[in-house]
Structure 1
Amino acid sequence: MIESTKAIVLSSIKYGDTSLITTCYTENYGIKSYLLRGVLKSKKSNIKAAYFQPLMQLQLTANHNNKGTLNSLKEVSVSHFYNAIYTDIKKQTIALFLAEMVYNSIKEEEQNSDLFKYLETSFLWLDTHTNCSNFHLLFLLNLTKYLGFYPELNVVKAPYFDLLEGSFSINNKPNAVSGENLSQFKKLLGINFDVLDQVDFNAANRQAVLTILVQYYELHLGSFKKPKSLNVLKAVFS
């Protein structure tokens, strides 16, 4: 069936000598993967390999098959052109890392308009704002609202945060965060990107909170794999 939808590129891998397999999160159909035959060779096609960089926002017309199978693209255009994500080294590194995180976190082939809107607007914010050193941290925390495990805030003053339960506790448990790391983690709770410049993380704080968030994802998503780009991100923001 030929269908049109907005999409955000999460992964592109080379297939053979001339083709790509790309996975996108689409507005209307959730996760979809596409086989782009000959896209690395053809210069005349209106579908360009450059369209499929991490987090690129596209408008697709596609032939969608049964779930779990590769689909084919008929037409592709860029729906939002980024000005800085692919030229600023920090933003480029964040984009690569977050594309992997989203790819490893979302598997559903079903519509979730609220989640798509969050992704779309968040990445546009990243592109247009200069203070982005903490963007990936708040993005990952707030993404858990759409994945179903945002922290419970009813006893936020408790001395421990249980990563497995996603709640604050007066009891220390094997997967609990406490002390200085917990104090830093709490700075992100309940805020949006517009006040992100008020969060005063140093490099060590940033690394500690990132480690907490990645562990949080690992504990709550059974098929989650730690991103290969994690070490690159840590190096850029160290």
Structure 2
Amino acid sequence: MHVNTEAIVISALKYGEADLIVKAYTLESGLKTYMLRGILKSKKGKLKASLFQLLTQLDLVASHKNKGTLEYLKEAKVLHTYQTLHTNVVKASMVMFLAEVLKNAIREEEANRPMYEYLKAGLNWLDLHETIANFHLLFLLKLCRYLGFQPDDSNKNFPYFNMLDGVFQEYKSNEYCIEGENLQVLRQFLGINFDGLSSIKLNQTSRTNFLNILILYYELHIEGFRKPKSLAVLNEIFS
């Protein structure tokens, strides 16, 4: 099936001497994987390896078999040129981390326009702003909504948050109930948008602890989700 779609690059892995395997989250078809043969050595082809930097927004022309196999990519061009996302060291580290989370979290080969638009809006915000130390925390928390396990904040004044059920409650019912400072941080993030990030002040320890809670929340709700290897790099950047 011939498809023209927007897409966000999730990963690009070298295969052999000259090939590239690219995973992209597409607007029209969800997650797709493309085999780009010879792209790392060819100087004359339409496709250039530089197009496939992590989280780049592209306009793709592709042929999809929709059988869970590698797809064929005919054309690609940059749809939105970032100003700082790949040149700012801190943002580039955050991009690497977020891309790894998305690679582990998104599995569906079907369209999800609200999630695609959320990813695009979040990345564009990150590109244009400088107060970003807590961006990844809110980004992951808001992403839960589109992945199907958004925290229920209807009783957020209760003293515990049950990560297994995604609800606030009055008592501790299992080992995955959080309280204390992590609970306070969760309450701060619930209900704000990216423009409200400047109102949240966290030190490195609080930020790291809450990020670990978010990663555990993902592990509890997504089968096979693995802690990102780039987590250590991100923590080092903000230390």
TMscore range, shorter length: over 0.9
**What is the RMSD computed on CA atoms of the aligned residues?**
0.8
Q: Percent of aligned positions with the same letter in both sequences?
A: 48
Does the CA contact (< 8 Å) of 1:181 and 1:205 recur in 2?
Answer: yes
Does the CA contact (< 8 Å) of 1:18 and 1:37 recur in 2?
Answer: yes
The C-alpha deviation readout for 1:58-105, integer Å capped at 9, x for no partner, is: 000001113210011111000000110111111001101101111111
Q: What code does the residue aligned with 2:96 have? A: L
Query: 2:205 corresponds to which residue?
Result: 204
2:196 and 2:130 mapped to 1: Cα distance?
13
Where do 1:188-203 residues align within 5 Å? Answer: 188-203=189-204
Q: What code does the residue aligned with 2:132 have? A: C
Query: 2:167 corresponds to which residue?
Result: 167
1:66 and 1:81 mapped to 2: Cα distance?
29
1:27 and 1:165 mapped to 2: Cα distance?
30
Q: Which deviates further from its counterpart, 112-121 or 61-70?
A: 61-70
Q: CA deviation at 1:184?
A: 1.7
2:160 and 2:66 mapped to 1: Cα distance?
45
Query: 2:183 corresponds to which residue?
Result: 182
Q: What code does the residue aligned with 1:235 have? A: E
Does the CA contact (< 8 Å) of 1:67 and 1:109 recur in 2?
Answer: no
- Name structure 2 gaps, 5 residues minimum: none
Q: Across the two proteins, how many residue pairs are aligned to each other?
A: 238
1:229 and 1:156 mapped to 2: Cα distance?
31
| 3-state SS of paired residue (1:187) | helix
1:24 and 1:193 mapped to 2: Cα distance?
24
Query: 2:16 corresponds to which residue?
Result: 16
- Name structure 1 gaps, 5 residues minimum: none
Q: CA deviation at 1:202?
A: 1.1
1:230 lines up with 2:231 in the alignment = yes
Q: CA deviation at 1:185?
A: 2.1
1:83 and 1:38 mapped to 2: Cα distance?
29
Q: Which runs of 4+ in 1 moved over 3 A?
A: none
Where do 1:1-238 residues align within 5 Å? Answer: 1-172=1-172, 173-238=174-239
1:136 and 1:66 mapped to 2: Cα distance?
32
- TM-score, normalised to structure 1, is 0.98
1:186 and 1:94 mapped to 2: Cα distance?
23
Q: CA deviation at 1:223?
A: 2.2
Q: What code does the residue aligned with 2:180 have? A: G
- TM-score, normalised to structure 2, is 0.98
